């Protein structure tokens, strides 16, 4: 079917007006029939297509393009088709043709008026946007769930000291709360990216027709409004060609999955060191080694980032170099986005559950927090605060670290000071100050700069994370309400005809 049926249907069509069927027999009944077909994959947009059909038919009737009676028959047929479900569709190379054919079977040749002033090109673009926006809201909800779990972890573990790493080497002590909030902040940006993608997805291409508009006096604002879109796409050629909303959404999902993969990796490493125990519900065992409890769910979360990145790559490669306006390659674009959104939303929910149920082992963490002389920077800071140039202080502490390693204590530092500065440490600071700097918990408590791990600094971060979470939850609720209101409005309009 290379062209679209016209309103009166007799130009390309058979005598009975069911021109769609006739043309399909000629063009896509051969050996490539299955290759051309997207019917089974289109189950994803079955409900979206019915909504788009309804809004379009209501608008055609309001504009006097189809008679109210005809609209009523088409809308009644759509209801039966919805009840029968996607699996009952038989004829057609995609869901749009199959539903149209099913309408014509029920309403007769007048059913063919449904496809007046539109094309499958604007129709499919509208359906994908309609379905994707609902999926995006679910993905956004999953990010909020994960953020909530991280905020609760931060609240509960504000004073739980933990080793902090760079290059996976012990670096400076911090807290579980500070670690959890580091991911919460990253996930807040993932929420924001998905919301941005949502707003650009939620624009209506419907009424662009094949790409070149239509002579019918349609009302594009009306269909957009009935479908809950925030606006219409201004250029018809852009409207049918554009899939950057899929790229943007998939990129946001791949970014989210990449953030989650880091979180999952941290938990895998922490579980290996006994810092944290993943709940049984998120663990797995070995078929041969009876003692094993493995953090498999987090490893699978980590792997989903690969799937999402592959989807983004597949999508970009499919779209690259496509000429204007519609090309059938576009039929292969949606799948990448659907797989990404399903896979990443699920991974986000699993990560949220694993975090919410994880048990942090305070004792193992306290023992580990000072390992590798991780308080060294704090000691150098204490000397620098007492007036020693930081670079000199760094040298003193480095020399103690070299001699005493993990066991660097006041005496080791004092010996290093005598070597390097030619004086005792006590010429600059008292013993208590150095001993406090050597204590992991005190070391953490001293780092109270904005964004730091000291419990007061973390309390502020928790408060602003809670505010942002509440604001984003409100935005999500507003988006959901707008969609639900539009669906109700459309249903009410449909009922005036049926
Ligand atoms: N199944 C097609 C898709 O998903 C619908 C549009 C077909 N349009 C066309 N001119 N062949 O993209």
pLDDT (tens digit, 9 = 90+) per residue, 71-87? 999 999 999 999 999 99
Average pLDDT, the chain: 93
CA–centroid distance, residue 243 to ligand 1 (Å): 13
Residue 1 pLDDT greater than 60, yes or no: no
pLDDT given at position 289: 82
Residue 384 pLDDT greater than 80, yes or no: yes
pLDDT given at position 30: 80
pLDDT given at position 293: 84
* 93 within 8 A of 28, measured Cβ to Cβ: yes
- Rounded CA separation 465/459 (Å): 10
Residue 61 in tokens:
């009737």
* 171 within 8 A of 162, measured Cβ to Cβ: no
- Which ligand 1 atom is nearest residue 334's CA? 4
Catalytically active residues are 167, 286
- C-alpha dihedral over 460, 464, 465, 470, to 10 degrees? 140
Q: What is the mean pLDDT of residues 103-116?
A: 97
* 47-61, 247-261, 429-443, 484-498: segment of lowest average pLDDT: 429-443
* 97 within 8 A of 76, measured Cβ to Cβ: no
Q: Say if ligand 1 is within 6 A of residue 121 CB.
A: yes
Residue 320 pLDDT greater than 60, yes or no: yes
pLDDT given at position 22: 38
For residue 15, name the pLDDT band (cuts at 50, 70, 90). very low
CA–centroid distance, residue 330 to ligand 1 (Å): 7
Residue 313 in tokens:
């790559």
- Minimal CA–CA distance to 412: which of 393, 398, 422? 398
Q: Say if ligand 1 is within 6 A of residue 145 CB.
A: no
For residue 214, name the pLDDT band (cuts at 50, 70, 90). very high
Residue 13 pLDDT greater than 50, yes or no: no
Residue 12 pLDDT greater than 80, yes or no: no
Q: What is the mean pLDDT of residues 65-69?
A: 98
CA 353, 357, 363, 366 dihedral sign is positive
Q: Are strands 161-166 and 169-175 parallel, antiparallel or unpaired?
A: antiparallel
CA 190, 191, 193, 194 dihedral sign is positive
Residue of 45, 94, 237, 323 best suited for mutating to test ligand 1, as the one with most atoms within 8 Å of CB: 94
Distances in whole angstroms, Cα of residue 210 to Cα of each of 242, 267, 425: 13, 51, 81
- Rounded CA separation 195/347 (Å): 19
Residues of the chain above pLDDT 70, percent: 94
167: left (phi over 0), alpha (psi -120 to 50) or beta: left
Q: What is the mean pLDDT of residues 205-209?
A: 98
- Which ligand 1 atom is nearest residue 3's CA? 10
* 201-215, 333-347, 376-390, 468-482: segment of lowest average pLDDT: 376-390
pLDDT given at position 6: 34
Residue 20 pLDDT greater than 60, yes or no: no
CA–centroid distance, residue 328 to ligand 1 (Å): 6
- Which ligand 1 atom is nearest residue 210's CA? 10
Q: Say if ligand 1 is within 6 A of residue 115 CB.
A: no
Q: Say if ligand 1 is within 6 A of residue 218 CB.
A: no
pLDDT given at position 9: 34
pLDDT given at position 327: 97
Q: Say if ligand 1 is within 6 A of residue 97 CB.
A: no
* Burial class for 175, CB neighbours closer than 10 Å (0-12, 13-18, 19+): buried
For residue 112, name the pLDDT band (cuts at 50, 70, 90). very high
Q: What is the mean pLDDT of residues 89-105?
A: 93
Q: What is the mean pLDDT of residues 338-346?
A: 98
pLDDT given at position 488: 98
* 486 within 8 A of 225, measured Cβ to Cβ: yes
User: Which of 33-44 are b and which e, b meaning 16 or more Cβ less than 10 Å from the residue's Cβ?
Assistant: eeebbbbeebeb
- Taking only the tens place, the pLDDT of each residue in 167-192 is 999 889 999 999 999 999 999 999 99
Contacts of 459 (CB under 8 A, 6+ apart): 158
Q: How many CB atoms lie within 10 A of CB 449?
A: 9
Q: Say if ligand 1 is within 6 A of residue 143 CB.
A: no
CA–centroid distance, residue 193 to ligand 1 (Å): 29
Residue 429 pLDDT greater than 80, yes or no: yes
CA–centroid distance, residue 83 to ligand 1 (Å): 24
Q: How many CB atoms lie within 10 A of CB 142?
A: 24
* 103 within 8 A of 77, measured Cβ to Cβ: yes
Residue of 119, 120, 333 best suited for mutating to test ligand 1, as the one with most atoms within 8 Å of CB: 120
- Which ligand 1 atom is nearest residue 128's CA? 4
**Which of helix, strand or coil describes residue 204?**
strand
- Rounded CA separation 476/137 (Å): 7
Q: Say if ligand 1 is within 6 A of residue 282 CB.
A: no
162: left (phi over 0), alpha (psi -120 to 50) or beta: beta
Contacts of 182 (CB under 8 A, 6+ apart): none
Which residue has a Cα nearest atom 2 of ligand 1?
331
Q: What is the mean pLDDT of residues 457-484?
A: 98
* 11-25, 175-189, 253-267, 319-333: segment of lowest average pLDDT: 11-25
**Helical spans, DSSP H, in 273-288:** none
pLDDT given at position 33: 85
Q: Say if ligand 1 is within 6 A of residue 120 CB.
A: yes
- Which ligand 1 atom is nearest residue 94's CA? 1
Residue 28 pLDDT greater than 90, yes or no: no
């Amino acid at each position: 079917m290379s062209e679209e049926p016209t309103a009166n249907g007799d130009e390309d069509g058979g005598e009975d007006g069911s021109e769609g069927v006739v043309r399909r027999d000629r063009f896509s009944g051969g050996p490539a029939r299955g290759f051309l077909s997207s019917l089974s994959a289109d189950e994803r947009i079955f409900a979206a297509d019915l909504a788009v059909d309804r809004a379009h038919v209501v608008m055609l009737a309001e504009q006097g393009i189809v008679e109210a009676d005809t609209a009523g028959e088409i809308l009644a047929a759509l209801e039966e088709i919805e009840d029968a479900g996607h699996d009952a569709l038989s004829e057609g190379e995609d869901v749009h043709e199959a539903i149209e054919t099913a309408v014509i079977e029920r309403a007769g040749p007048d059913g063919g008026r449904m496809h007046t002033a539109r094309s499958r090109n604007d129709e499919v673009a509208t359906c994908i946007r309609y379905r994707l926006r609902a999926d995006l809201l679910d993905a956004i909800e999953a990010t909020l769930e994960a953020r909530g779990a991280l905020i609760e972890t931060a609240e509960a573990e504000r004073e739980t000291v933990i080793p902090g790493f760079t290059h996976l080497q012990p670096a400076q002590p911090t807290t579980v709360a500070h670690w959890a909030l580091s991911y919460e902040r990253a996930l807040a940006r993932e929420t924001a990216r998905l919301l941005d993608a949502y707003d650009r997805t939620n624009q209506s291409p419907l009424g662009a027709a094949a790409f070149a508009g239509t002579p019918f006096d349609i009302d594009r604002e009306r269909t957009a409004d009935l479908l809950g879109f925030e606006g219409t796409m201004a250029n018809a050629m852009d409207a049918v060609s554009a899939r950057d909303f899929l790229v943007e959404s998939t990129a946001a999902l791949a970014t989210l999955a990449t953030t989650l993969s880091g979180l999952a990796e941290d938990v895998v490493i922490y579980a290996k060191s006994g810092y944290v125990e993943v709940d049984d519900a998120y663990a797995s065992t070995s078929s041969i080694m009876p003692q094993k409890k493995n953090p498999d769910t987090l490893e699978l979360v980590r792997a989903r980032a690969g799937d999402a990145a592959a989807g983004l790559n597949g999508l970009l490669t499919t779209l690259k170099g496509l000429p204007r306006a519609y090309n059938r390659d576009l039929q292969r674009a949606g799948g990448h986005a659907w797989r990404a959104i399903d896979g990443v939303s699920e991974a986000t929910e699993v990560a949220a559950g694993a975090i919410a149920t994880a048990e942090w082992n305070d004792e193992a963490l306290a023992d580990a927090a000072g390992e590798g002389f991780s308080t060294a920077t704090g000691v150098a800071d204490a000397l620098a605060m007492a007036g020693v140039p930081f670079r000199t202080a760094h040298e003193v502490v480095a020399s103690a670290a070299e001699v005493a390693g993990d066991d660097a204590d006041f005496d080791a530092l004092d010996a290093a000071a005598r070597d390097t500065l030619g004086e005792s440490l006590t010429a600059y600071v008292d013993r208590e100050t150095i001993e406090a700097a050597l204590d992991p918990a005190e070391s953490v408590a001293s780092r109270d700069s904005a964004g730091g791990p000291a419990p007061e600094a973390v309390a502020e971060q928790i408060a602003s994370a809670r505010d942002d979470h509440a604001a984003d939850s409100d935005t999500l609720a507003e988006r959901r309400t707008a969609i639900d209101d539009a669906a109700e409005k459309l249903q009410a309009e449909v009922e005036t005809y049926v």
